Amino acid sequence: MTMAEEFDAIVVGSGITGGWAAKELTERGMRVLMIERGRMVEHQADYKNELVPPWEMPFRGLGDPALNRRDYAFQSKGMHFTEWSRDHFVNDRENPYKTAPDNPFQWRRGYQLGGRSLTWGRQCYRWSDIDFGANKADGHGVDWPIRYADLAPWYDHVESFIGVSGSKEGLEQLPDGIFQPPMPLNPVEVALKGRIAHKWPDRHLIMGRSANMTQERPGRAPCQYRNICARGCSFGAYFSTQSSTLPAATATGRLTVVTDALVDSLDYDPKVRRITGVRVIAAAGRKRTTYRSRMVFLCAGSINSVSVLLRSASEAMPHGLANSSGVLGRFLMDHALSMSVTARVRGFEKHVYFGNRPSSIIIPRFVNVTQQVDGLLRGYSFQGGATRRGWADSINEVGLGEELKAQASQPGDWTMLLGAFAECLPYADNRVALDYKNLDPFGLAQTRIEFSYGANESRLLAHARDEAKAMLGLMDADILSASADPGQGGTAVHEMGGARMGRDPATSVLNAHNQAHDIANLFVTDGAAMSSSACQNPSLTYMALTARAAAFAAEQVKSGRI
Partner 1 sequence: MDQPGLRLSRREALEQAARWMAVVGAVSVVMPAVALGTEVASPGDEALGGMVLALLGHVIPETDTPGAGNPDNVQFVMRAVSDGLLGVRPDTLMHLHHDLRQVASGPFEQLPHMAQAVALAKIDVETFGPAQPAITPWLSTKALILIAYFTSEAGASQQLRYEIVPGRFDPDLPLDKDWKPLSNDWAANAIKKGIA
Residues 203-242 that bind partner 1 (CB under 8 A): 208, 224-228
* Least gap, CB of 41 to partner 1 (angstroms): 21
According to CB under 8 A, which one of 419, 502, 527, 538 is a site residue for partner 1? 419
According to CB under 8 A, which one of 86, 88, 109, 357 is a site residue for partner 1? 357
**For residues 81 and 331, which CB has a smaller minimum distance to partner 1 in the complex?**
81
Q: Is 431 in the site for partner 1 (CB under 8 A)?
A: no
* Least gap, CB of 67 to partner 1 (angstroms): 9
Single out the segment in contact with partner 1 by CB under 8 A; choices: 117-125, 197-205, 257-265, 456-464.
117-125
According to CB under 8 A, which one of 113, 196, 249, 417 is a site residue for partner 1? 417
**For residues 57 and 282, which CB has a smaller minimum distance to partner 1 in the complex?**
57
Are 171 and 561 in contact, with CB atoms under 8 Å apart?
A: no
* Residues within window 506-545 making contact with partner 1, judged by CB under 8 A: none
Strand order from edge to edge, sheet including 445-450:
98-99, 445-450, 431-439
Nearest to 99 by CA among 386, 467, 438: 438
Neighbour-count burial for 403-416, b at 16+ CB within 10 Å, e otherwise? eeeeebeeebbbbb
If binding means CB under 8 A, how many residues of this protein chain bind partner 1? 80
* Least gap, CB of 380 to partner 1 (angstroms): 14
Left if phi > 0, otherwise alpha if psi is -120 to 50, otherwise beta: which for 473?
alpha
* Residues within window 78-97 making contact with partner 1, judged by CB under 8 A: 78-80, 82
Angle between helix 16-27 and 539-558 (nearest 10) = 30
Nearest to 141 by CA among 489, 545, 535, 507: 507
Strand order from edge to edge, sheet including 336-345:
206-207, 361-363, 380-388, 414-422, 336-345, 477-482
Single out the segment in contact with partner 1 by CB under 8 A; choices: 179-187, 267-275, 281-289, 436-444.
179-187
**For residues 104 and 498, which CB has a smaller minimum distance to partner 1 in the complex?**
104
Q: Is 123 in the site for partner 1 (CB under 8 A)?
A: yes
Q: Is 192 in the site for partner 1 (CB under 8 A)?
A: no
3-state secondary structure of 345: strand
Angle between helix 455-472 and 187-199 (nearest 10) = 100
* Least gap, CB of 308 to partner 1 (angstroms): 30
* Residues within window 364-383 making contact with partner 1, judged by CB under 8 A: 383
Are 363 and 352 in contact, with CB atoms under 8 Å apart?
A: no
Backbone angles phi, psi at 508, to 5 degrees: -150, 165
* Least gap, CB of 406 to partner 1 (angstroms): 8
Beta bridge pairs of residue 283: none
Are 416 and 477 in contact, with CB atoms under 8 Å apart?
A: yes
* Least gap, CB of 59 to partner 1 (angstroms): 6
According to CB under 8 A, which one of 96, 133, 247, 411 is a site residue for partner 1? 411
Nearest to 495 by CA among 376, 380, 332: 332
Nearest to 31 by CA among 42, 22, 43: 22
Residue 312 and residue 304: Cα distance in Å, rounded?
12
Question: How far, CA to CA in Å, does 266 sit from each of 140, 218, 277, 320?
Answer: 31, 37, 6, 10
Single out the segment in contact with partner 1 by CB under 8 A; choices: 54-62, 264-272, 274-282, 554-562.
54-62
**For residues 181 and 441, which CB has a smaller minimum distance to partner 1 in the complex?**
181
Are 354 and 344 in contact, with CB atoms under 8 Å apart?
A: no
**For residues 230 and 255, which CB has a smaller minimum distance to partner 1 in the complex?**
230
* Residues within window 388-407 making contact with partner 1, judged by CB under 8 A: 388-402, 404-406
**Four-point Cα dihedral 526, 108, 177, 372, nearest 10:** -100
Q: Is 200 in the site for partner 1 (CB under 8 A)?
A: no
According to CB under 8 A, which one of 148, 179, 200, 353 is a site residue for partner 1? 353
According to CB under 8 A, which one of 16, 32, 113, 183 is a site residue for partner 1? 183
* Least gap, CB of 390 to partner 1 (angstroms): 4
According to CB under 8 A, which one of 166, 385, 502, 527 is a site residue for partner 1? 385
Q: Is 45 in the site for partner 1 (CB under 8 A)?
A: no
Nearest to 542 by CA among 336, 179, 216, 298: 298
Left if phi > 0, otherwise alpha if psi is -120 to 50, otherwise beta: which for 159?
alpha
**For residues 233 and 499, which CB has a smaller minimum distance to partner 1 in the complex?**
233
**For residues 156 and 393, which CB has a smaller minimum distance to partner 1 in the complex?**
393
According to CB under 8 A, which one of 370, 387, 458, 507 is a site residue for partner 1? 387
* Residues within window 58-77 making contact with partner 1, judged by CB under 8 A: 58-62, 64-66, 77
**For residues 315 and 397, which CB has a smaller minimum distance to partner 1 in the complex?**
397
**Contact letters (x/-) for partner 1, 480-509, by CB under 8 A?**
xx----------------------------
Q: Is 359 in the site for partner 1 (CB under 8 A)?
A: yes
Left if phi > 0, otherwise alpha if psi is -120 to 50, otherwise beta: which for 92?
alpha
Are 61 and 54 in contact, with CB atoms under 8 Å apart?
A: yes
* Residues within window 318-347 making contact with partner 1, judged by CB under 8 A: 339, 342, 344
Beta strands 274-282 and 255-258 are unpaired
**For residues 350 and 437, which CB has a smaller minimum distance to partner 1 in the complex?**
350
Burial of 32 (0-12, 13-18, 19+ CB in 10 A): buried
